[in-house]
Structure 1
Amino acid sequence: MTLVKFNNGLKNNSNPFFNDVFDSILNDRFISDKLTNRIPAVNIAETENDFQIELATPGLKKEDFKINLDKNVLTVSAEKKAEENTESKKFSKREYNYHSFTRSFTLPDSTDHTKIEADYTDGVLKLTIAKREEAKFQSREIAVK
């Protein structure tokens, strides 16, 4: 089996020099490090009884987080204190580096604001927001007449 490369590797452009110049600029370590997303990735899930928000925040401690609720807006922020490092490190690539960030989530009216829990384990901050009793999924069988 032979792999065939279409367009000679060009990205919808007839001038290969144009692509090479921009690829080298955009793949430059200095620029790409500055453009790297500096907010944690998030997963949001809904179960029968609650909503779950998970933020990937490696390298932080429980004490670094601040979680606030203002009306229906849940705000998660973190600020990492600068640590004195006795051994100097020179990173060749650094993809997770959260000195500070803020993420806000608008909660639906079906949430119970008095039952919000936070747990930080293995670099993942997990927020569990309970649903009000009347908002929980209710299943029933419907009779055919």
Structure 2
Amino acid sequence: MHRIADIERRLHHGMPLSSIVAAVDVVEEDKLFRVSVELPGAEAKDIEVSVSDHTLVVKAAKKNDREEQAQSYYLREREYGSFERFIEMPIGVDPDKIAAQFANGVLTIELAKTPEAVRKHKRIPVEGK
């Protein structure tokens, strides 16, 4: 079964395509994997998340047009860029139970594990002498 170290290694195979460089974090929890992608300046309508053959695909586009005019100057800035990242999903992810939310510039994707992939966890008490 692939674990968190395998996912982190696979993240390096994705590449930014233009001016957007996005930090990606993957955390394994008991019942799911949580992927966080920082996409400052992007809007939810410009983000696409899909699954294709055990690969999670995240695409985003950013368009920023700023215009400022004062008595002594005129400023117009345009910033465009795109981002695309391919993340191979670990074995045990239920492709029908993937959810994505975008808030405050961060895309959060939850990849639910299948019941078979959920680790059985039992806490062992530690006795002191």
2:105 maps to 1:123: yes
2:67 maps to 1:86: yes
CA drift at 1:106 = 0.2
2:66 maps to 1:64: no
Structure 2 residue matching 1:135: 3-state secondary structure:
coil
How far apart, in 2, do the equivalents of 1:126 and 1:44 lie?
10
TM-score by length of 1: 0.61
Structure ID, larger Rg: 1
Greater share of residues in strand:
2
Mapping 1:1-145, distance limit 5 Å: 38-81=20-63, 83=65, 85-87=66-68, 88-89=75-76, 99-139=81-121
CA drift at 1:68 = 1.4
| RMSD (Å) for aligned C-alpha atoms | 2.6
Deviations 1:80-101 (A, max 9, x none): 2454x332356xxxxxx76101
TM-score by length of 2: 0.68
Which structure's relative contact order is higher, taking Cα pairs within 8 Å and 6+ residues apart?
Answer: 2
Paired letter, 2:98: I
Structure 2 residue matching 1:86: 3-state secondary structure:
strand
Greater share of residues in helix:
1
Uncovered stretches (5+) of structure 2, i.e. residues with no partner: 1-18, 69-74, 124-129
Paired letter, 2:92: S
Uncovered stretches (5+) of structure 1, i.e. residues with no partner: 1-36, 91-96
Number of aligned positions between the proteins: 101
Segments of 4+ moved more than 6 angstroms: none
CA drift at 1:108 = 1.1
